Amino acid sequence: MTTKRSQAAGGPQQLELEEWLAVLEDADVLDAQLDTDTDTDDDALLVPEALSGGYRVKATFEPRPYQEAALKAWAAADGRGVVVLPTGAGKTVLALMVIGQLKVRTLVVVPTIELLYQWRDSIINTLGVAASHVGVVGDGQRQVRPITVITYASAAQPNAPIGDFGLLICDEAHHLPSPAYSTIVQRAPAAYRLGLTATPERSDGLHRQLDTLLGPEVYRRAPAELADDGHIAQFKEKRVFVDLQPEELVRYDSLMTTWKWYLAANRHKLAQSGDFFGELIRRAGNDPRAREALQAHHQARMIALNAERKLNEVARLLNLHRQDKVIVFSEYNALVYRLSHTFALPAITYKTSADERKGILQAFRDGSYSKLVTGRVLNEGVDVPDANVAIVVSGSSTAREYIQRLGRVLRKKPSEALLYEIITRNTTEVKAARKRRKQAA
């Protein structure tokens, strides 16, 4: 195989609208079978001696057919590229297969502290690499070893120790093209690069830079495909509609009138920049009417997302699924806490301490809890115990969030998984739900 290096490209871009709205408001299961230690296959990637990691792998895998196909596709692309698989389909296993085959100095970049330790433990316990050969950088630690796991935030620091690795693995690779992280590959010019994600697409379009940063998309399987093949749970998606109460409807219509009036009066000026929402946000800095319009849009959206009658539907669904393990998702933490208080559900948000979060997830895992409610914090980067029902009380329009939440119930199981979306009729939420489903298809 020919080794090669590429220069990363990228620059500052506008914030995604959903990120801006968020500012206003407030590992995969290792489902593989261990086998005995074996030598690298004859058709394995050729590894230059200078890149050797000097560690031994004491276990290998019997890959699922799609994992084996993904590995071959990546190798055929000269050991560069992005693999897109649903949450629960074993992306981590694929990466462990690559590490075990190449046995080179490896840098694994992850978005969260939880994943930092999940990856370290997986490499030690599942791949069988000695603990002395596996280090972590982040969370106050700086252990650079033949296999090093590092957070994106740490890797983006100018003095990050990331220049001496032969294999770069980027978990949740959709984070990499952001302006804060895209320079990582310039300072970690690994000969081999693997990106893993269930949701590569970004609404700001920066996912197109992944081709330069890590290599082309070499393999993709959708949740429905893997469910049909029996590799993940069969699932159904159900949409449940509710109406605004009369007083909510009056307030919603008033706010949307303010929003639509401003757009109608300024649409031409906003469109000229080629960055409609970016221009609107910039104008809001010194134009009171633009600021009023944005605030009206946000407040109307909050009314739709947090409609009172959604609580009645949550109560009905929880009663319907008394015997099931259920995760309830809400877009904003205020509703998470309200649902927690109303239905006596354990809650996890970004404010939940690490120890409390660990305790809640362990209780959910062992069956002490059968229900929990959460916000965005469990969308990715946390090893969430298996559930068979997800109730999305509110969500953004992004396909990424939708796929991540669906992925929380997709791990292989005998029973069918269910994803409910509770949507407020005759509001912008209908269009947002339609958009995220279309993009996720």
Please count the other Cβ atoms lying within 10 Å of the Cβ belonging to residue 57: 20
Does one domain contain both 294 and 436?
no
Q: Which tens digits make up the pLDDT trace of 231-272?
A: 555 677 889 999 999 999 999 999 999 999 988 888 777 777
Q: Classify the C-alpha dihedral 430-434-440-441 as positive or negative.
A: positive
Residue % of the chain over a pLDDT of 90: 42
pLDDT given at position 7? 35
Domain membership of residue 228 (yes or no) is no
pLDDT given at position 379? 62
Mean pLDDT of 388-412: 69
Q: Which residues pair with 374 in a beta bridge?
A: 329, 348
Does one domain contain both 318 and 419?
yes
pLDDT given at position 409? 57
Domain membership of residue 176 (yes or no) is yes
pLDDT given at position 115? 87
Residue 24 has pLDDT above 60, yes or no: no
Residue 39 has pLDDT above 50, yes or no: no
Residue 38 has pLDDT above 50, yes or no: no
Mean pLDDT of 329-355: 89
Does one domain contain both 170 and 268?
no
Out of 282, 305, 328, pick the residue that ends a domain. Answer: 305
Domain membership of residue 50 (yes or no) is yes
Does one domain contain both 135 and 166?
yes
Instruction: Describe the strand order of the beta sheet including 326-329 as a list of residue ranges.
Output: 235-242, 417-424, 389-392, 326-329, 371-374, 347-348
Q: Which has the higher per-residue pLDDT, 112 or 407? A: 112
Domain membership of residue 229 (yes or no) is no
How far is the CA of 198 from the CAs of 114, 209, 217, 227, 404, in angstroms?
A: 18, 17, 12, 15, 7
User: What's the CA gap between 375 and 147, in Å, rounded?
Assistant: 33
pLDDT given at position 357? 85
Contacts of 334 (CB under 8 A, 6+ apart): 26, 306
pLDDT given at position 108? 97
pLDDT given at position 51? 63
Q: Which has the higher per-residue pLDDT, 395 or 336? A: 336
State the residue range of the domain holding 162. 17-222
Task: Write down the mean pLDDT value for the chain.
Answer: 80
Q: Which has the higher per-residue pLDDT, 89 or 190? A: 190
pLDDT band at 19 (very low <50, low <70, confident <90, very high): very low
Give me the residue label for tokens 């809001």. Answer: 284
Out of 285, 305, 325, pick the residue that ends a domain. Answer: 305
Mean pLDDT of 336-351: 92
Please count the other Cβ atoms lying within 10 Å of the Cβ belonging to residue 390: 23
pLDDT band at 73 (very low <50, low <70, confident <90, very high): very high
pLDDT given at position 37? 33
Q: Which tens digits make up the pLDDT trace of 74-84?
A: 999 999 999 99
Residue % of the chain over a pLDDT of 70: 78
pLDDT given at position 232? 57
Domain membership of residue 4 (yes or no) is no
User: What's the CA gap between 437 and 441, in Å, rounded?
Assistant: 6
Does one domain contain both 370 and 327?
yes
Does one domain contain both 96 and 113?
yes
Out of 261, 277, 305, pick the residue that ends a domain. Answer: 305
Residue 440 has pLDDT above 70, yes or no: no
pLDDT given at position 110? 94
Specify the pairing of strand 235-242 against strand 217-220. unpaired
For the chain, the domain total comes to: 3
DSSP 146-188: SEEEEEHHHHTSTT-S-SS-SEEEEETGGGTTSTTTTTHHHH-
Q: Which has the higher per-residue pLDDT, 210 or 283? A: 210
pLDDT band at 361 (very low <50, low <70, confident <90, very high): confident
Mean pLDDT of 88-107: 90
Does one domain contain both 209 and 318?
no
pLDDT given at position 33? 28
Domain membership of residue 187 (yes or no) is yes
Does one domain contain both 112 and 144?
yes
How far is the CA of 335 from the CAs of 38, 211, 329, 414, in angstroms?
A: 52, 39, 9, 32
Domain membership of residue 230 (yes or no) is no
Q: Which residues pair with 171 in a beta bridge?
A: 196
Residue 102's CATH number: 3.40.50.300
Please count the other Cβ atoms lying within 10 Å of the Cβ belonging to residue 250: 11
Task: Write out the two tokens for 195.
Answer: 């990106």
Instruction: Could you list the beta-strand ranges (E) of 69-125.
Output: 80-84, 106-110
Q: Which tens digits make up the pLDDT trace of 123-171?
A: 999 899 999 999 999 988 899 999 999 999 999 999 999 988 999 999 9
Residue 338 has pLDDT above 80, yes or no: yes
Q: What is the DSSP code (8-state) at residue 285?
A: T
Q: Which tens digits make up the pLDDT trace of 269-280?
A: 777 766 677 778
Domain membership of residue 395 (yes or no) is yes
Does one domain contain both 260 and 402?
no
Does one domain contain both 71 and 207?
yes
Does one domain contain both 253 and 379?
no
Does one domain contain both 192 and 295?
no
- Longest Cα–Cα distance of the chain, Å, equals 72
User: What's the CA gap between 172 and 355, in Å, rounded?
Assistant: 24
